[in-house]
Amino acid sequence: MSGSGVFWATIVGFLAGVFVRSFLPLGWAAVSFCAAVSVAFFALGRLDAQRRSAFVFAALALFSLGGGIARMRAAAVTGDRALNTRIGKSVALEGMVVGEPDARETSTIIIVAARSLKSGASSTPVSARVLAILPAHALVRYGDLVGLSGTLELPQAFDTGLGRQFNYPQYLAAQGVWYTISFARIDTHGNAGNPVIATVYGIEEAFVAGIRAVLPEPEAGLASGITVGDKRSIGPDLATVFQRDSLLHMIVLSGYNITVVLNFFAWLLQRAPRIAQFGGSVGIVVFFMLMTGGTGSAMRAGIMALVAVLARATHRVYLGERALAVSAFLMVLWDPFTLAFDPSFQLSALATFGLILFAPLFSRWYARVPERFGAREILASTSATQLMVLPLLLYQSGTLSLVSLPANLLALFPVPFAMLFSFVAALGGMAFGTYAAALALPAYLLLRYIIAVASALASLPFAVVNVPAFNAWWMAAGYVALALLWVNTRPFVAKVPESKARP
């Protein structure tokens, strides 16, 4: 059996086990069954030399399937026993703020790792993460030791429109959160956060402040989004515009953004020693991963970028599909709720998979489109990613953008330049404040262009079509159809050069 077969049997089997256990209450009996059958297949492989590879493949896949079931079962938590008795009641907790506070127009959302439940002068040790909703502009930061009070609740699923329900409890479970407190009250008494993570957040905050010192809104928000992946900074109105155009991938940390940054720093370090190039690239990727707080799309893009950096340093071929499989395996191994309940990871992984599978097909179809300004690559990439996420996107949100192709074609080509000039503007704002406004003029013009294109296309009456809710089996049928399309077109499409595979 080839090394490739071992690789795919292990990863696909594990992911399948986690996925199945996410929806079916399988226990240790199922794990034991998978292990026993895998041993039987392995024994058959030892006896039958002609079909040994097939039996060993089946044994590995079943064993990994059982491992996935076991990992998901071990991750299924029921909260803290002491806190479970306080659901619907007022509580006073003490703990530490984990992650960067999510500051919005009307509220600030934090996640607190609760350590003790206060009751008068006594306290009970607890261990749980609690999502707390504070008033807007609350003065709180990562690592703060806080006292948190309010009514303890369990998160509830809610209607997203067009008959769809969002599984909010499992979405929060993917972040380790089991409880919520709305209208929470908080007091701070010290900070015990990781100094490295605190430094990263501090650099991000200073960077965004530098941008806001020299750029007006909404350009400042867009600059923050494309440079440091802070999509919250663009505001709800512009976020809606980018969503209608299928341009939200521009303002989250994705493979595209990381590739632009890595290519820029590779150019800067081209004369540096090889170890400095490798260390600098790894440091940049890890910095961005920490800065985003470990979101699904950022972690996926970051791990794939690290694989690409390692492949470049060791002169090995970078295979996008294997890098994607490794990133998915590591993320799901760390947090199995990610696979079935994190939309950010799902859409990001599927978009990348679509880029790998279908971009060569669309490049062939768009052979008449000129390569100038990357027009053909943008069209092929957008078509491939949109096609791959379409069934899941329609199932989850029911919105189909009809202007995504022209929007991406017109808005994406200036993004690398907008990122570069936004970076220059931010440095000027950090060093000289509003006096550096002249440095921000190129960034402003590029950002203004992107916003104008996005707003004009999003305002068209036919920009978005809403699709009523449908059964998950129709989504599955959609992916079966895409698989058949790929199988039937694969022999006629040249393989995309590995050097152009994007993390």
The pLDDT tens digits for 309-357 are 888 888 888 888 999 999 999 999 998 999 998 888 898 899 899 988 8
Q: Kind and range of the H or E element at 391?
A: helix 375-396
Residue 55 clears pLDDT 60, i.e. is over it: yes
Q: What is the mean pLDDT of residues 163-183?
A: 87
Q: What is the mean pLDDT of residues 211-230?
A: 87
Q: In 3-state terms, what secondary structure has residue 358?
A: helix
DSSP class of residue 248 equals G
Return all residues near 449 (Cβ < 8 A) that are at least 6 apart: 414
Q: What is the mean pLDDT of residues 104-121?
A: 88
Q: What is the mean pLDDT of residues 412-432?
A: 89
Question: In this structure, are residues 171 and 338 in contact, taking their beta carbons and an 8 Å threshold?
Answer: no
Quickly state the pLDDT bin for 497 (edges 50, 70, 90): very low
Residue 194 clears pLDDT 70, i.e. is over it: yes
- How do beta strands 107-119 and 122-135 pair? antiparallel
The residues that bridge with 452 in the sheet, in sequence order, are: none
Question: In this structure, are residues 501 and 320 in contact, taking their beta carbons and an 8 Å threshold?
Answer: yes
Q: What are the E-state strand segments in 120-201?
A: 122-135, 144-153, 158-161, 164-166, 177-181, 185-191
Rounded CA-CA distance 302/296 in Å is 10
Range name among 201-215, 293-307, 400-414 with the lowest pLDDT average: 293-307
Helix axes 375-396, 404-412, angle to 10 degrees: 140
Name the range with the highest mean pLDDT among 159-163, 267-271, 301-305, 391-395.
391-395
Q: What is the mean pLDDT of residues 258-287?
A: 80
Q: Kind and range of the H or E element at 119?
A: strand 107-119
Rounded CA-CA distance 341/368 in Å is 41
Q: Kind and range of the H or E element at 35?
A: helix 28-47
DSSP codes joined into one string, 75-112: H-----HHHHTTTTSEEEEEEEEEEEEEE-SSEEEEEE
Residue 203 clears pLDDT 90, i.e. is over it: no
Q: What is the mean pLDDT of residues 40-65?
A: 87
Residue 281 clears pLDDT 70, i.e. is over it: yes
Residue 379 clears pLDDT 70, i.e. is over it: yes
Quickly state the pLDDT bin for 500 (edges 50, 70, 90): very low
Residue 76 clears pLDDT 60, i.e. is over it: yes
DSSP class of residue 476 equals H
| Length of the chain counted residue by residue | 503
To the nearest whole percent, how much of the chain has pLDDT over 70?
94
Residue 496: per-residue pLDDT: 45
